[in-house]
């Protein structure tokens, strides 16, 4: 589904990703772990097409398309969803109408008619249950005045409504208390299917207690230094990043 080869990227002249390789197949969940500054967020922003970041080398193919040539909205329409680490507040635009715009943009891309407003409303209500939020969530301005936990749940809620092919969760677990973490994890698990894939970007092992990854990769200084299964995350938690980096040298 996703093939990344020798990706080099950075921001404002600073080199961050330095030869990143990753292959993700349908039905897989990949966890990418790494210390601060290792390039975790850069990876998600580059895949989503944030224009602040510059790709200097490498190739990213998504379902046969050259992802790096696409505008951010076209990447989203092709099926890529990023749950933001820090979702921005958008005053004056409510959650429900934002999602309707996004949902209909996707339908238009697929050559379908706009969703019937009543049916769409039912869909929203159904997906709200997944993240355990009440209906008034829909009428609030997008992320405005939301607590940290509400913002993260809203990202998962949007993911549930938009039903992406590849979801990239950028430190969705950071800043969550244990209850919120469980709910977010429940939401993510409910969306796992053989025909989609998830990349979990995280600093800590604890999310992986609830969302079981098929692969765990350790990122250090812009490169994957080790890949393994769930055990690798546990080892990492026990030994720490410094040990992992040192053991390679």
Instruction: Tell me the closest approach of the beta carbon of residue 218 to another protein, in angstroms.
Output: 26
Q: Binding to another protein by residue 50, rule CB under 8 A?
A: yes
Q: Which stretch binds another protein (CB under 8 A): 3-11, 80-88, 204-212, 233-241?
A: 80-88
- Cα–Cα distance between 20 and 97 in angstroms, integer? 37
Nearest distance in Å: CB 97, another protein: 7
Q: Is 70 in the site for another protein (CB under 8 A)?
A: no
User: Binding to another protein by residue 87, rule CB under 8 A?
Assistant: yes
Taking CB under 8 A as the criterion, the residue among 12, 14, 36, 51 binding another protein is: 51
In the complex with another protein, which residue's Cβ is closer, 72 or 240?
Answer: 72
> 124-133, long-range: CB within 8 Å, 24+ apart, which pairs?
124/96, 124/99, 124/161, 127/157, 127/160, 127/161, 128/157, 130/156, 130/157, 130/160, 130/186, 130/187, 130/190, 131/156, 131/157, 131/160, 131/183, 131/184, 131/187, 132/183, 133/157
Can you list the alpha helix ranges (DSSP code H) found in 68-224?
A: 72-78, 95-109, 117-130, 148-162, 178-190
99-118 mask for another protein (x: CB under 8 A)? --xx--xx--x---------
Binding footprint of another protein on the chain (CB under 8 A): 48-52, 71-73, 75-77, 81-82, 84, 87-88, 90-94, 97-98, 101-102, 105-106, 109, 141, 158, 162
């Amino acid at each position: 589904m996703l093939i990344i080869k020798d990706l080099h990227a950075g921001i404002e002249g600073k080199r961050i990703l330095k030869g990143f390789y990753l292959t993700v197949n349908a039905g897989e969940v990949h966890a990418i772990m790494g210390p601060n500054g290792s390039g975790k967020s850069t990876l998600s922003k580059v895949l989503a097409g944030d224009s602040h970041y510059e790709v200097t080398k490498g190739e990213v193919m998504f379902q046969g398309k050259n992802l790096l040539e696409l505008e951010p909205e076209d990447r989203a329409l092709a099926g890529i969803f990023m749950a933001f680490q820090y979702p921005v507040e958008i005053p004056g635009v409510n959650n429900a109408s934002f999602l309707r715009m996004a949902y209909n943009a996707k339908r238009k891309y697929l050559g379908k008619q706009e969703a019937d407003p009543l049916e769409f409303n039912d869909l929203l209500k159904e997906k709200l249950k997944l993240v355990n939020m009440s209906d008034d969530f829909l009428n609030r301005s997008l992320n405005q005045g939301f607590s940290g936990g509400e913002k993260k749940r809203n990202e998962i809620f949007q993911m549930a409504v938009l039903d992406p092919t590849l979801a990239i969760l950028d430190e969705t677990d950071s800043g969550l208390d244990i209850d919120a973490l469980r709910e977010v994890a429940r939401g993510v698990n409910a969306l796992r299917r053989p025909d989609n894939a998830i990349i979990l970007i995280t600093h800590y092992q604890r999310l992986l207690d609830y969302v079981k990854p098929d692969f765990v990769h350790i990122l250090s200084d812009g490169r994957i230094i080790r890949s393994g299964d769930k055990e690798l995350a546990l080892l990492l938690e026990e030994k720490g990043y410094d040990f992992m980096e040192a053991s390679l040298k």
